[in-house]
Each structure stands twice: as C-alpha cells, then as structure tokens.
Chains A and B, each alone.
Chain A
Amino acid sequence: MSNPATFDHVAIAVRSIRKAVRLFVDVLGAEYVAGGDDERLHIRTVQLKLPPGVKIELMEPIGEDSYLARFIEKHGEGFHHTTLFFENIEEVIPELEEKGFHVVDTDLSDPSWRETFVRPSVGFGTLLQIVDTNHDWMTKSPYPIEDVIDGKIIWRGNDLIHRDEVE
C-alpha cells in the first residue's frame, strides 16, 4: 500500500454559494480560505476551512451550460465529491486498477495538480478525486470572499486574479 490519503476536502454542489455561506461560515464557523471562477468548467468554488485542517468546498454553476448545473438539475444540491491528496498518485493509480477500482479522467500534465477520479459506480456511490500537488492549498487568498461571490475573481491555473486585472 502507498502512503495513506490525506483528506483535503468534501465538496458540496449548491445553487448559491452566497446562501450556503450563511450556514457554513456565519453559523458553523468555517473559515474562508480562497475561491474563484473556473471559466473552463463554468463553476465558481469557495474553499472553507474547519479544524483539524480540512476543507468544505462550495461549488456553484456559472450559467446553464455548466456540467454542475446539469448535476444539480438531476441530483439536487448536496455532496458532490471528496478530494484525497497523496504523495505520488502514480503509485496509487496502479493499485486502484489492480484492485478493480477503475480510474477515469487522469491528468498528469501539470505537476502542481495531478489528478484522477474514481467514479461513483465503482467508488461505492462516492466520486473520489485523487490528487497529488506541490501547491499549498491552505494559503489564504488575498481577495475577499465578497469579491469571489460577486464573480470578480478567477482562477488562472493555481493562481487567483481579479477580473479587472485581466481586461
């Protein structure tokens, strides 16, 4: 067996991050870490931290063409995936395959975020995102959460930038 997984986050698909923040941040005390729009996937995400050092990710679709809009349409809001970090996912992938847990959408092209997925059909109903990364995803974003929720912040690779800085 390779090194154990580190639990990074559980992601929740929601229609409105703004509304969900009222529960997870305002009442339950989760702390804003970072967030932005992923224009490739047409989603907005916000990462919130809870002791002992794990995150809840809120994901909301941007526009009806987003795969996430279709997901919510079909399944409703709720748990979407869990992300586990490993030291080296190239060791994990063959172990998964060997034990009969087929992986999909493997992308090893970016050393700062190499990923693969175990589909719910083989992962006991759970979508598992299996990742290794050399980036520290607990670093607090310089941008306020309000700007993220307003759609002003976008991901550029692993970096966050303000829309005004692009245009």
Chain B
Amino acid sequence: MAQAKFDHVAIAVWSIRDAMRLFVDVLGAEYVGGDEEDRLGIRTVQFTLPPGVKIELMEPLHEESYLHRYLEKHGPGFHHTTLLFDDIEEVIPELEAAGFDTVGTDLTDAAWRETFTRPSQAFGTLLQLADTTIDWMEPSDFPVEDVLDGRVVWNGSERVYREEQQ
C-alpha cells in the first residue's frame, strides 16, 4: 500500500497579498517560496506551518486563467490538497484498481510527476498526487515581495527572475 505524505492544502484567492494579512500576519505561517506559471496563468505562494505542512495561496494572473473562471464560479476557498509519495507510478494503478480514476497524469518531468483524482470520485476533494526530487520545504532565495510583484517565474524546472528569462 502507498503511503501519502501531506504536503499542502491550497486555497484559491483573488489576492495573495490580502490573504497574507490573515495567514501570515495573524496566524504565523512562514513564507517558503512562490512563483508564476504563465502556462496556467496563476501565481502561487507557499507558507509553512508546524508540524511541517504548507498552505498554498493561489491567485489568477488574468481573466483567461482557469483559476479566474474557478473563482468566478466557486468563490475563494479550499482548492486542492497535495499528497506526496515515494513513487507515484505505484499509486496510480492502486487508485485505478480501487475505482478512483486519475486525470491529468504527467510523468514527463522527474522533478515533479503528478496525477489528480476527480472531485466527483474523491468525495468532493481535488487531490494532487505527486512525487518529486525537489525539497519544497527549502526556503526560496527570492523574496516574497518579488513574487507578489510578478517578477519570479517557474520556467519548467526552476524559479528565475522574469527579466532574466527574456
């Protein structure tokens, strides 16, 4: 049997900056890292809380983002939970055998291989199931202000400054 490790719960918000006033300033979550994914049109920032899990805040970058449509439909709130495994390739057939279809499987990048369960089959929750070779608890060198200002992007394998990418 597979053994999930709880990595983070992700919350879809209109403004990460506003949400940080609650999760960071009052509740004490600590900034770990963040970036933008132009492919998805989203910005995400991760914050840790004891005993070593994260809250991820996600915001859309523009109206064409799937997350913008999500927020328009559902409003802000819990979006997904991410569980990490030693080997996602062992988990997928176990899920399928137990009757839980996986979708969006992408095993092409060894640094982050993922699949998802459909909320309709996973009791209303979107579960992101992944394995990774990166230590995502390692604090990022990029300051959170730069992330919020849209200067930090995920280029497919690492975070870089937007101006350096072009």
Interface residues of A (CB under 8 A from B): 1-7, 10, 12-14, 19-20, 22-23, 26-30, 50-54, 56, 58, 76-79, 82, 84, 92, 95-96, 99, 101, 118, 120, 123-126, 128
The answer to whether A99 touches B81 (Cβ under 8 A) is no
Q: Which residues of B contact A118 (CB under 8 A)?
A: 22
The answer for the CA separation of A62 and B75 in the assembled complex, in Å, is 28
The answer to whether B77 touches A126 (Cβ under 8 A) is yes
Q: Which residues of A contact B124 (CB under 8 A)?
A: 12-14, 76-79
Interface residues of B (CB under 8 A from A): 1-6, 9, 11-13, 18-19, 21-22, 25-30, 49-53, 55, 74-78, 81, 83, 91, 94-95, 98, 100, 117, 119, 122-125
A-B contact pairs, 11 of them (CB 8 A): A6-B51, A7-B49, A7-B51, A10-B78, A12-B124, A23-B98, A30-B4, A51-B3, A78-B78, A99-B26, A125-B76
Q: Which residues of B contact A124 (CB under 8 A)?
A: 11, 13, 18-19, 22, 76-77
Q: Which residues of A contact B51 (CB under 8 A)?
A: 6-7, 52-54
* Chain B residue at minimum C-beta to C-beta distance from A52: B52
The answer for the CA separation of A50 and B75 in the assembled complex, in Å, is 28
Q: Which residues of B contact A4 (CB under 8 A)?
A: 27-30, 49-50
Q: Which residues of A contact B25 (CB under 8 A)?
A: 1, 99
Supplied contacts A4-B28, A10-B81, A99-B21, 16 more A-B pairs, CB within 8 Å: A13-B124, A27-B2, A28-B2, A28-B83, A50-B4, A52-B51, A54-B51, A79-B78, A82-B9, A96-B26, A99-B22, A124-B11, A125-B12, A125-B74, A125-B75, A126-B77
The answer to whether A92 touches B78 (Cβ under 8 A) is no
* Chain B residue at minimum C-beta to C-beta distance from A120: B77
Q: Which residues of B contact A30 (CB under 8 A)?
A: 4
Q: Which residues of A contact B18 (CB under 8 A)?
A: 124
CB distance from B5 to the nearest CB of A (A): 5
Q: Which residues of A contact B19 (CB under 8 A)?
A: 124
CB distance from A89 to the nearest CB of B (A): 11
The answer to whether A12 touches B6 (Cβ under 8 A) is no
The answer to whether A50 touches B6 (Cβ under 8 A) is yes
The answer for the CA separation of A103 and B114 in the assembled complex, in Å, is 37
The answer to whether A126 touches B49 (Cβ under 8 A) is no
The answer for the CA separation of A3 and B49 in the assembled complex, in Å, is 11
